[in-house]
Amino acid sequence: MDHVANYPILRKLGEGATSEVFLCQDPFRNREVAVKRIFPEALRDPTRGRLFRKLFFTEASLAGKLEHPHIAQIYDAGIGEDSGYIVMEYVPGGTMERFCVPENLLPLEQVVDIAFKCTRALAYAHMQGVTHRDIKPGNLLYAASPTDVRIGDFGLALNVGAETTQITGVGSPAYMSPEQIREELVDHRTDLYSLGVVMYQMLIGQLPFRANNKFSMIYQITQHDPPPPSALRREVPSSLDRIVRRAMQKEAAKRYHSGDEFAEDLIEALRAGLGEASRETFGDADKFALLRSMRFFSAFVDRWCCARATLATSSASSSKARCGSARTRSSSPCSARASASARWRTSRSAASSAAPPSPRAPGRACCACASPTSSRRASPAAASSTAPSSASWSTASTSRTRASPRVDRRTVETLGHR
């Protein structure tokens, strides 16, 4: 066989229980692609043929739907009575399985970077209504470097938008969430649990639960808690212990609610430091956090940022209103004098036309500003016998102003006479 559909075969990449994968040349785009071909006998299997067809069709139906830099793209697909193929992006590096053994562990910074990119890719897939259900190192591919990661093999994916029955009992048991291994209905949080298991394995080089048979594995996953990664690799900081522990909670409600929330904790752990030597280069998680804080990218925020900004704005408005109310209640004498002065101007014109002029008492204050009027027209004797001293009058007027900044009628009449 030298072709799969219209794609010339360059070499064989590998095979599994139900399919084989070839490196082919795309004659239309002049690029190398990976083509998965399902075995005809798998489709003709009398007991599981329908299941294999359904799973293959599920992956093929995602062609062109998931376009993300950290998801292996599906370009083309075709399925017939006893044949089928899927044309995918070719990722030349390999899988993450080689970095899940104690003798070949990656630095903590790179593990966090890989997990961060996977959380972003899963958040995008979940937004499209797609749950992977088979996150494991064998389905995490990398290209030029380990941190150039791609999530592949959506054959077991659950597409919420499709009107299909959810298939249970599929996946890799060691990476399954408790609800998935109990064959219950699952949602996107099962992917976050599986990614927590992958992160655990990449940190210390072994699975959190190990057993000799499937039943023992099921019991450990549903009943036991694994030791923290730091217990087996001393340089793992407590921040990564907390992240893995939350991602692997038995109850889905206690896990991360979204890939974005998972990613945010990874960024915070990276910022706090991972206990290693200072870095001379920045990973993609660092760059993402830095770019998001720039003014230019303020319009390109995620939905949780918008919600947080809305809440902050609402809180600030409430605080401002309370502060404004407090300032109004505790107005200074100067603001009271300004208000009284404005009322005096209005009252003066009304009083001068409505009431006849009356004699002015010497030394009476002209307004609530607590400064006595000049007694130039009064005799010194009359001024001394009628008006109080300047200091005492100022004190009395000031206290009256603080109590009520209004201008009384007698003051208005006096000012009108003046």
CA atoms within 13 A on the CB side of 233: 23
- 260 counts as catalytic: no
Quick one: which of 153, 151, 146 has its CA closest to 99?
A: 146
The alpha carbon of residue 43 and the mean position of all alpha carbons in its chain are separated, in whole angstroms, by 43
Long-range contacts of 289-294 (CB under 8 A, 24+ apart): none
Quick one: which of 173, 152, 158, 162 has its CA closest to 36?
A: 152
State how far the Cα of 108 lies from the Cα of 126, in Å rounded to an integer.
27
- Catalytic entry in 76, 113, 134, 286: 134
Provide the b/e sequence for 273-283 (b: ≥16 CB within 10 Å): ebeeeeeeeeb
- Name residue 84's beta-bridge partners: 79
The alpha carbon of residue 152 and the mean position of all alpha carbons in its chain are separated, in whole angstroms, by 24
Quick one: which of 40, 72, 33 has its CA closest to 56?
A: 40
Catalytic positions: 134
